Amino acid sequence: MDIIDNASELEELHRNAALSRARLNEHAISATHCRECDEELPEARRIAIPGCQLCASCKEIEELRGKIRR
């Protein structure tokens, strides 16, 4: 991987983070339990990510599946 590839990857990460922040609805109501595994969502997660529906583990799996589909 060369410097151009690294720069492109970094730019994509920054763009995706900016898009995620723009989509964040600060008034959205978070679920109390993960919609996938039904584990209770920690209060800190519900506060940090308004409107969250997945626990951190299930969200990570969802994101990995999304990358595989691209």
Q: Which sign, positive or negative, has the C-alpha torsion 25, 29, 35, 39? A: positive
Give the predicted TM-score (pTM) of the model. Answer: 0.60
Identify the domain containing residue 61 by its residue range: 3-69
* Residue 20, CB-side half-sphere exposure with 13 Å CA sphere: 11
Specify the pLDDT at position 50: 86
pLDDT digits (tens, 9 = 90+) for 5-48: 888 888 988 888 877 766 667 678 899 999 999 999 999 999 88
Specify the pLDDT at position 1: 63
CB-based burial, 23-60: b 16+ in 10 Å, e otherwise: eeeeeeeeeeebeeeeeebeeebbeebeebbbbeebbe
pLDDT digits (tens, 9 = 90+) for 55-68: 999 999 999 988 78
pLDDT tops 80 at residue 49: yes
Q: With left for phi above 0 and alpha for psi between -120 and 50, is residue 54 left, alpha or beta?
A: beta
Number of domains in the chain: 1
pLDDT tops 70 at residue 70: no
